[in-house]
Chain A
Amino acid sequence: MDGEEIRKIVLVELKRIAPELEDVAPAKPLRDQVDLDSMDWLNFLVALNERLKIEIPEADYRKLGTLDQVVAYLSAKAR
């Protein structure tokens, strides 16, 4: 699975949690653009885990600040 496919999946799951979301600036912090509380964030990661079968340890949350970072992290793990 390449980075673009992963990006699509990430955006679909993000919009499932925040349907009001329109555009996401890929390099800006996600939490500044989307109203995500800790339950939303956990549900987002659970959804990504289910779709991509990638485990995301809690210690790695800090690497997932922006959309680009999420895609890069998942792409690296998907290899």
Chain B
Amino acid sequence: MIEFKLPSLGADMDEGKLLEWKVKPGDKVKRGDVVAVVETPKAAVDLEIWQDGIVRELVTQPGQTVPVGTVMARLAAAGEAPAAVPTPAGRHPVSPAARKHARELGVDVEKLPGSGPHGAVIVEDVDKAAKGGAKPAPAPAAAPPADKALAMRKAIAAAMSRSKREIPHYYLSQTVPMQRAQDWLTACNEKRPVTERVLMGALQLKAVALALKDFPDLNGFWKDNAFEPASGIHVGVAISLRQGGLIAPAIHDAAERSLDELMKALADLVRRARAGSLRSSEMSDPTITVTNLGDQGVDEVFAIIFPPQVAIVGFGRVAPRPWAEDGMIGAVPTVVASLGGDHRASDGHRGARFLAALAVLLQEPEKL
């Protein structure tokens, strides 16, 4: 028997409200399938399941708010003898004809009372509902915008207070000349239609991911008074939301993706973050975060680590600045890359070497 529990989707989440089940008892699910939608203080998140199985019982009901770790559903593992599927409270069997008819009429058959044998929903029940005779139970509503904004601020405050309280941050920065990266990107985008262009932000993400390969002590988690290196490089991207607040979901295996793939993943992630359709693995898996505030015009970012991660990389704007090279001063586009590191997991010496490696990569854009 598999117990499907509400996962923690970040340090700022203690509980979640079930908005919707995407499965019902008897459904076969496989690893990675979205089985439910849960509202967290930051977003509605699609919950994925991490084992193959057959849904036996839905324990949590839509509209319920439950703490992280609560058993929300039980499943039979693959190979486990399938037991009789209990019908969850409030649900009835549905005749195939009624199901088909309901689909045609746009009626949510799962929420209808049934008048057939054993309380089964039959075609007549669907007709009645379509005519307004039997109203289906309303779907649990997401919180109104004002409450959401407040919950978001509270969640950010809790996570950042914990970070500042528990993590002994050290900060480093390095100015990186970006002429080559900028020229390379301009040449690359010149030949491309607008739908395939790559942003400097994607180039910077790739450079961070590649640089991390040699710095596993910056890529992972601080848990139970010890550093736990991560098995993959899943770069969290800080995304500001238009209604206020921010969210930092992961691009999985960022170092292994081509620049084009990374750009597509970034565009998709930003779009879904703002539309409120992120997946649970994206929320729970970031092994480091990158925050880019260059578009807002700042020179440098002193970012706060998102626990349980142990490092955060910031980028300011790419802009022409005085730069000395070969005894000459000229105006060169540069960016200030910064690192906030957790002194429990690494020292400034390692952080400085990481920034130096990042600077080298940013100056060799063709290798990204």
Chain A residues with CB under 8 Å of chain B are 18-20, 35-39, 42-43, 45-46, 49, 55-59
Question: Of B190, B197, B271, B295, which is in contact with the most chain A CB atoms at under 10 Å from its CB?
Answer: B295
A39-B270, A43-B267, A43-B271 known; A56 vs B296 contact (CB < 8 Å): no
Q: Do A18 and B242 touch across chains, with their CB atoms under 8 A apart?
A: yes
Interface residue tally on B, bucketed by range: 10 to 19
B294 — nearest CB in chain A belongs to which residue? A38
Q: List 8 A-B contacts (CB under 8 A).
A: A37-B240, A38-B201, A39-B199, A42-B199, A42-B267, A57-B190, A58-B189, A58-B197
Q: How far is the CA of A41 from the CA of B193 in the complex (A)?
A: 15
A18: B residues at CB distance < 8 A: 242
**Neighbouring B residues of A43 by C-beta, 8 Å:** 267, 271
Residue of B nearest to A59 (CB): B190
Task: Return the chain A residue nearest B239 by Cβ.
Answer: A39
B266 within 8 A of partner (CB): yes
- In chain A, what residue has the closest Cβ to B269? A39
Q: Is the Cβ of A42 less than 8 Å from the Cβ of B190?
A: no
| The one of A19, A38, A58 that contacts B242, using a Cβ cutoff of 8 Å | A19
Q: Does B194 contact A (CB under 8 A)?
A: yes
- B186-219 toward A: CB 8 Å interface, digit per residue (1/0)? 1001100111010111000000000000000000
Chain B proximity of A21: nearest CB distance (Å) = 10
CA distance A55 to B193 in the complex (A): 7
Whether A38 and B200, one on each chain, are in contact in the complex, defined by CB atoms closer than 8 angstroms, is yes
| A49 engages B194 (CB within 8 Å) | yes
Q: Which residues of B contact A36 (CB under 8 A)?
A: 295
Decide if A37 touches B295 in the complex (CB within 8 Å). yes
Q: Which interface residue of A18, A19, A37 has the most chain B CB atoms within 10 A?
A: A37
Q: How far is the CB of A47 from chain B (nearest CB, A)?
A: 10
Contacts of B194 in A (CB 8 A): 42, 45-46, 49, 55-56
Q: How close is B278's CB to chain A, nearest CB, in angstroms? A: 16
On whether the beta carbons of B197 and A42 are closer than 8 Å, the reply is yes
In the complex, which of the residues A19, A39, A59 contacts B267, with contact meaning CB atoms closer than 8 Å?
A: A39
Report the bound CA distance from A58 to B193 in whole Å.
9
Q: In whole Å, how far is B202's beta carbon from the nearest beta carbon of chain A?
A: 9
Tell whether, in the assembled complex, residue A38 and residue B190 are in contact, meaning their CB atoms are under 8 Å apart: no
Who on chain B is nearest to A18 by CB? Answer: B242
Would you call B193 and A49 a contact (CB within 8 A)? yes
